[in-house]
Amino acid sequence: MSAVVSSAPDAVVRDLRTSTVSLPLARPLQLGAMTVTRREYAAVRVSDGEGSTGIAYGLTREAPMAELVERLIAPHVVGGELDVPALWERALRGSAIVGRVGLVRRAIGLVDIALWDLLGRRTGRPVWQLVGADDSPRKAMLVAAYPTPGRNVHDLVDEVVSQAEDGWPLVKLSRSPDTALMRELLSTLRRELPATTGIVVDVGFGWPDADTAIAEVAEWGDPELAWLEDPLLPEDVTGCARLRSATGLRVGVGDEVTDPGVLKALADGGAIDLARLDVVAIGGITPALEFAAWAEDRGLPVSCHISPETSVHLGHGVGVETFGRGPGGNPYDPSPQLVVGGPVFADGTARPTAEPGLGFSFAPGTFDFGRNA
C-alpha cells in the first residue's frame, strides 16, 4: 500500500453548504422496530473558493443532519487549511461537549467525506489513490428484498433469484417477524440460488434479547446463512456472543454504529465474525480507514453499510453494499437517482473509477446548495 496523501497545504476551505431532499418509497418498509415511508438525504458541499468542490451525502434517518453540520461542524472547518485529518480532529474536539458519538459523529462524517472529495478533485487524484489503496474490484453485496406486508414467498424468491443471476456473491434480505414465511423463504432460496451465492438476513436490531433471537432462529429451521446481521443492539456484546455460539451462525454487526469502540468491543468479546462499517456514521473516511486497518491486523472481515460511492475507496479488502442500480430503480432506496457516476458494478463486484475525488456528482435538480461558491 502506498503512502496516504491527506492534505493540500496550499488550499483553504472557504465555503460549506448543506441541502436536504426527501424521496417517498413505493411501499413502507419495516426495519426492526422502524417503519420507513420515505428516504431523506442530507448533502454537504465544500469549496476552496478557487473552483474545486467536494460533496457527500447520506441518510438523515429523520434527524436534522443539515442543521447539525451547519451549527456544530462548519465553524471548525471553514477557514482551515485543507488537511483532512487535522480538520476531522478540530471538528471532533470543537463539538466534543455534545458529540463524540451519535448524530454529531454522523455530521462530522458527512463533512469529512466531502473534504476527501475536495482534496481529490483539487489534486486530480481519486480518493482510493490518496488513501493508498488500489482500484481492484471489491466484493459487493446486493440488498435484494424486503418481506413487506402482503408479499408472499413466491414473489420474494423471484425477486432475489432474478437479481442474483447478475453474479452477486452475497444477497441480503430483511427479517420478517413471520417465522413460517422466513422458514419457507430461506429454504426455498437455498434451493433456488447457486451454491456460491451467500444469503444475509438483516434483523435491524429487531430482537430485544438473545433468548428471543435464539428461539426465533430455531423456528427458521436450519438456515444456511453467510451471516446474520444486526440481531441485537450493537452494545449487547454478551447477547451477540451467546447468539453466535447457540445458533452456530456467523454474526455481523455495525450498521449505524457511530463509536468505533463498540465495534472493537464486539470483536474482542467474541460477538461477531465480521464488522459492518457505516462510513458516514463512524465519522467519515478518516476514522473508517483507521478501523479497517485495526480489523485487518486482527483478521476481522469488514463489510460496509450502503454508500458504495464512498466505501469503494477504502480498499479491495473492504466489502461494498448496494441496492439495485438498474435504470428502473428499486423500491427500497432511491439514492442511485441522486448521483451520476460512482463505482462500476459488474459480476458481483464494485470497482472505483479513476475520476478525481470520489468520482461521482449529484444529478441535476436534486440537491440545491443556493448560489454558486
Q: What is the pLDDT of residues 95-148, one digit of tens each?
A: 999 999 999 999 999 999 999 999 999 999 999 999 999 999 999 999 999 887
Question: Could you give the CA distance from residue 175 to residue 166 in angstroms, rounded to a whole number?
Answer: 23
Burial 125-137 (b: 16+ CB within 10 A, else e): bbbbbbbebebeb
What confidence tier does 352 reach under pLDDT thresholds 50, 70, 90?
very high
Does residue 67 sit in helix, strand or coil? helix
Question: Could you give the CA distance from residue 132 to residue 363 in angstroms, rounded to a whole number?
Answer: 29
Question: Could you give the CA distance from residue 159 to residue 164 in angstroms, rounded to a whole number?
Answer: 9
Greater confidence (3 vs 294) lies with 294
- Tell me what pLDDT residue 326 has: 78
Extract the C-alpha cell encoding 124: 486530480
Does residue 330 sit in helix, strand or coil? coil
| Residue 281 φ then ψ, to 5° | -65, -40
On whether the CB atoms of residues 270 and 244 are closer than 8 A, the answer is yes
> Which segment of 73-77, 161-165, 319-323 scores lowest on mean pLDDT?
161-165
pLDDT at 214 over 90: yes
Q: What does the DSSP 8-state code read for residue 136?
A: P
- Tell me what pLDDT residue 149 has: 77
DSSP track, 200-221: EEE-TT--SSHHHHHHHHHHT-
Which residues lie closer than 8 Å to 191 by C-beta, 6 or more apart? Answer: none
| pLDDT tens, position by position, 286-339 | 999 999 999 999 999 999 999 999 999 999 899 999 998 877 778 889 999 999
pTM of the predicted structure, to 2 decimals = 0.96
Answer positive or negative: Cα dihedral of 158, 178, 207, 251.
negative
Question: Which amino acid, residue 49?
Answer: G
- Tell me what pLDDT residue 373 has: 41
- Tell me what pLDDT residue 273 has: 98
Question: Could you give the CA distance from residue 88 to residue 91 in angstroms, rounded to a whole number?
Answer: 5
- Tell me what pLDDT residue 372 has: 45
Extract the C-alpha cell encoding 323: 441496492
DSSP track, 262-327: HHHHHHHTT--SEEEE-TTTTTSHHHHHHHHHHHHHTT--EEE-S-HHHHTTS-TTEEEEEE--ST
Span 22-26, mean pLDDT?
A: 91
User: In the chain, which ranges are continuous DSSP H helix?
Assistant: 65-68, 84-94, 103-123, 127-130, 153-164, 179-192, 210-219, 237-247, 260-268, 285-297, 308-311
Greater confidence (28 vs 46) lies with 46
**Beta pairing class for 318-323 and 138-145:** parallel
Of the chain, the percentage scoring pLDDT greater than 70 comes to 99
Question: Could you give the CA distance from residue 125 to residue 174 in angstroms, rounded to a whole number?
Answer: 37
Question: Could you give the CA distance from residue 280 to residue 142 in angstroms, rounded to a whole number?
Answer: 19
- Tell me what pLDDT residue 151 has: 86
Does residue 122 sit in helix, strand or coil? helix
pLDDT at 371 over 60: no
Question: Could you give the CA distance from residue 164 to residue 173 in angstroms, rounded to a whole number?
Answer: 12
363 conformational bin, left if phi > 0, alpha if psi -120 to 50, beta if neither: beta
Span 3-24, mean pLDDT?
A: 96
Which is nearest to 179 in space by CA: 197, 206, 199, 158? 206
What confidence tier does 3 reach under pLDDT thresholds 50, 70, 90?
confident
> Which segment of 78-82, 162-166, 167-171, 228-232 scores lowest on mean pLDDT?
162-166
Angle at 105 between CA 269 and CA 230, to 5 degrees: 40
What confidence tier does 1 reach under pLDDT thresholds 50, 70, 90?
low
- Tell me what pLDDT residue 330 has: 84
Using a CB cutoff of 8 Å and minimum separation of 24, what contacts does 175-181 make? 175/147, 175/201, 175/202, 175/203, 175/204, 175/206, 176/147, 177/206, 178/147, 179/216, 179/219, 179/220, 180/219, 181/147, 181/153
| pLDDT tens, position by position, 185-204 | 999 999 999 999 999 999 99
| pLDDT tens, position by position, 137-149 | 999 999 999 887 7
